[in-house]
Amino acid sequence: MKLSAAALHSQCPPKCPQCAKPVVLRAPDHSERVVCKNCFALSEVRSGVPRELKLLRELNEAPAAPPNLLPLGATGKLDDVDYVVTSHLRRKLRWCQETREQDEYWLFNQETGFRRLLHCENHWSLAEQLNDDETEFYMSQVRCRGLSLELFDECFAHNEFMVGEFARLAGAASPRKTALFIRPPFLLFCTPHKDRKLGKKQPDHEWWLAKYLEPQVIKRAFGLTDLAEPQNIAPNQPFPYRATYFYGAGLAALLFAIWMFALIRSDERVIYSQTMQLNPVTGSEETQVFFTEPFDLAPRKNLKVTARAPVNNSWAYVEGDLINEATGLVYSFALPVEYYDGYEGSEYWSEGGTATETHLSALPPGKYTMRIEVQWEHWAAPFSATVELQQGIPRFWHFFWALLAVAAIPLLVGLHQHSVYEPDRWKGSPFLPHRYKPKDDD
């Protein structure tokens, strides 16, 4: 029976060319470089069955190993893909005028290949390699997979510690210049590289697209018990206060639902509606008074009183009292109705209208009588006026202003937080977007 390279390797692992101890290859069909965990010699993984190792760089003294959160051979699941940790690499990076240390854990899955799990200042990102044809330069941006990423900075990366299996370029000993492009939660690494075998410059780049992961995701994926809190702001860290916007939107949605429920359950009804025919009176100060038949008002329902009159370049004035027959309490209202129009030069103008209304808060339930008193400008001529009383009227504008206030306050808080957060992200970058520059720098 013919065995696969992985199965054959597990039975007969290659030996380190320097210390002659077995070297575990967890991805023998994909690894190009391997660093022995015993003597830290760097070797090339050569094709063939079984795999052979060719020494590339000897080490006379073992380097100091940095803290390792994910040991070689550890397994975990990210985005529903099972991975095994094949290597650990410590890089020293410098961007935004500061030097940082970044740990990289190379993860392997037989179907998806290698992924890089990046750990810097307690921030985590998972990166996958892209092909050149997946990216497109556009001025200071790169477009890939439907994203437009902005140039954030250029940095040099220097390997300080390596152990385990890598792709070819991860084992580069000399510092490598890398451009960083961001669109949170994504971070794109672009590294021009030289084909060492041919010894000539190639137009190709090495591309890695990383997506930010919350520390809780890493804890669950690899069964870690404790992780330190992130420090500073990572280039691709999402704005952490988006919940402020969702909070405002949630409250607004809740208020809207309550209003819709109240609208559906509202019992809008006409309590009284009557057109009164008014006879001429003897003077401009004289009024005519009417009393309605008793009617019932329901509890906890507001009132709307509407007055209509056929005014035309004139006015009418309606006053009313709602009288509680049980208690004698009086609730008054006033409704001026006026309408004027004309021409000023060749321009037409108008103001007022033939109807006006007022809203009253809910009154104590019970039986009421309404007293209506009407006065009109052309008192020597007959006149008519209509008064209508309704109960249980939904107030749209009250809802609108409440909705605006509930949504606006979290929105303003979120915008303020965003205006502070984004300049801090770009602080120190030579490619600071104009929108984040202080006004004094304009």
How many angstroms separate the CA atoms of 108 and 87, rounded?
Answer: 9
Strands 147-166 and 176-183: antiparallel
CATH code for the structural domain at 1-62? 2.20.28
309 exposed, middle or buried (CB, 10 Å; 0-12, 13-18, 19+)? buried
pLDDT at site 348: 95
User: Which stretch of DSSP H or E encloses residue 46?
Assistant: strand 42-46
Listing DSSP states for 174-220 in one string gives S-EEEEEEEETTEEEEEEEEEETTTTEEEEEEEEEEEEEE-HHHHHH
Rounded to the nearest 5°, which phi and psi values hold at 427? -60, 125
267-393, CATH topology level: Jelly Rolls (2.60.120)
pLDDT at site 310: 97
| Domain definitions of the chain by residue range | 1-62, 67-238, 244-261+398-441, 267-393
Mean pLDDT by 10 residues, the chain (442 residues): 50 84 89 90 80 81 81 94 95 84 94 94 95 85 92 87 81 71 94 56 75 95 90 89 72 76 76 95 92 94 95 97 96 97 93 96 96 96 96 76 73 72 82 65 50
**Three-class SS state of 32:** coil
CB 319, CB 385: distance < 8 Å? no
* Amino acid letter, 19: C
Strands 186-195 and 200-213: antiparallel
Neighbours of 237 (CB within 10 A): 20
Task: Classify residue 19 as left (phi > 0), alpha (psi -120 to 50) or beta.
Answer: alpha
Tokens 């070819």 — which residue? 168
Sequence-distant (6+) residues with CB within 8 A of 396 are none
CB 207, CB 188: distance < 8 Å? yes
Instruction: Find out whether the peptide bond into 71 is cis, omega within 30 degrees of 0.
Output: no
Predicted TM-score of the model (pTM): 0.65
Of 189, 220, 190, which Cα lies nearest the Cα of 205? 190
Of 320, 322, 321, 349, which Cα lies nearest the Cα of 337? 320
**Beta pairing partners, 45:** 53
Neighbours of 1 (CB within 10 A): 3
Listing DSSP states for 383-441 in one string gives EEEEEEEEES---HHHHHHHHHHHHHHHHHHHHHHHHHHHHHHHTT-TT--GGGS-GGG
Query: What 8-state DSSP symbol labels residue 133?
Result: G
Of 43, 74, 82, 83, which Cα lies nearest the Cα of 59? 43
Rounded to the nearest 5°, which phi and psi values hold at 238? -65, 155
How many angstroms separate the CA atoms of 292 and 138, rounded?
Answer: 78
Q: Two tokens at 38?
A: 């015993």
**Beta pairing partners, 162:** 89
